A = this chain, B = another copy of it.
Amino acid sequence: MSLKEACALDAADPLRFFRERFSLPEDTIYLDGNSLGALPRATPARIAEVVAREWGESLIRSWNDSDWITLPQRVGGKIAGLIGAAPEEVVACDSTSVNLYKALAAALVLRPGRKVILSEPGNFPTDLYVVEGLERLGLAELRLAEPGQIIGAIDANVAAVMLTHVHYKSGRVHDMAALTAAAQAQGALAVWDLSHSAGALEIDLTACNADLAVGCGYKYLNGGPGAPGFIYAAARHHAGLINPLSGWMGHAAPFAFADAYAPAPGMARMLSGTPPVLGLAALEVGTDLVTAAGMAALTAKSRALTQFFIAAMAEQTPALELASPADPCARGSQVSFRHPHAYAICQAAIAAGVIGDFRDPDILRFGFAPLYIGFADAWNAARIVGQIVASGAWDREQFRTRNAVT
């Protein structure tokens, strides 16, 4: 394997022109788009327009004149196109954690008499914490089953099976169709967290017959730090869908200022407070780029890229143990390795311009956002990490302070 080979793959990549649509520092190979997506070149101008013209000049009138008021539906509708949902099944709003709370509370009401939310240990922690929040109020009961035992753990007490489609640490992909069917066979609902797959991997919520889903706007959708997330509910559930966080923006007639709550039709009822306009405007720019590239092409590139990186790493750095599935179809757009000194290696790699991240206790994680990362990036990253591991240059005191943030 060689840089030449990598460059040839880049030259043949139908998505290669998308890299120019992102602002990336020149001296950096950014393999952390699974944590914070890169900045689209169009975003600064769009945000400047929202701030200076829409807010500064048109002021309150922009809720109508610039369609701020329908941003959650408009951006949600665009995200729907990336995850196999109908536009009216998704709204963009709040954080993933808050949306998950809504989805789970809605699931519990849709399945009265059942209190168990089934998940797996090691799921992204906020998912489990949100169930604990419902548990503390006496509304739910968290049950955990190891991945291989999830289906067997679904019984008549389970209101919802809640899983993250692509695991944040290993990149392992759950079989959405099979697990959804298994949940539904026991009368339970399937609630999917798409944070690590939306925008990186083809998802077909409709074909999988998913019930509810949430996802993140600041990873592969490139919405910027702390961008709003999104929430999906299959149209068949809309009539019975409740929002525990029933706020005025989810009201059927918010500007009638009626004392009594009446839910808006469809997903609009899943809105709570006033939409975060700056965050939604940035998320729209990022989402539009993903839409322009197309999920089929992105998925194909993601698999080829991560496969190429695994091969390059095996060649350059056999000391690192692969912690992600070897089968590209069983893997999201990231590759993780295990090493007892993963933290120090990660810090040394960052110092050398390769930004990946560390996950407790021994995981080195590299994300490959297929929209803007190429094969030469993968090859150079493997080479640099290989040199660091071989040289022992990571084993220095300066790399020992742990202050990593996802």
Contacts and interface: CB of A to CB of B under 8 A. Distances in A.
B64 A39 contact: no
Given A95-B247, A245-B130, A279-B276, A403 B64 contact: yes
A251 interface: yes
B272 A64 contact: no
A403 B64 CA distance: 8
Contacts of A255: 360, 404-406
A359 B32 contact: no
A254 B121 CA distance: 16
A57 to B, nearest CB: 5
Contacts of A109: 136-137
Interface string A158-196: 000000000001000000000000000000000000000
B273 A97 contact: yes
A206 B60 CA distance: 33
Oligomeric state, in copies: 2
Interface stretch (A2-10, A47-55, A145-153, A289-297): A47-55
Given A248-B125, A406-B255, A133 B59 contact: no
A259 B122 CA distance: 6
A178 B383 CA distance: 69
Interface in A256-282: 256-261, 272-280, 282
A247 B126 contact: yes
Contact of A52 (B23, B124, B254, B350): B23
Interface of A: 23, 25, 28, 30, 32, 35-36, 38-39, 43-44, 47-48, 51-52, 54-57, 59-64, 68-69, 94-98, 101, 105, 109, 121-126, 128-130, 132-134, 136-137, 139, 144, 169, 218, 224-229, 242-251, 254-261, 272-280, 282, 350, 355, 357, 359-360, 403-406
Given A32-B60, A122-B259, A124-B257, 4 more contacts: A51-B224, A62-B225, A137-B137, A139-B139
25 contacts: A25-B59, A32-B60, A36-B59, A36-B63, A43-B51, A51-B224, A55-B224, A60-B355, A63-B225, A64-B405, A68-B225, A94-B94, A96-B273, A96-B274, A97-B249, A98-B272, A124-B248, A125-B254, A125-B257, A128-B260, A132-B246, A133-B246, A134-B244, A226-B280, A257-B359
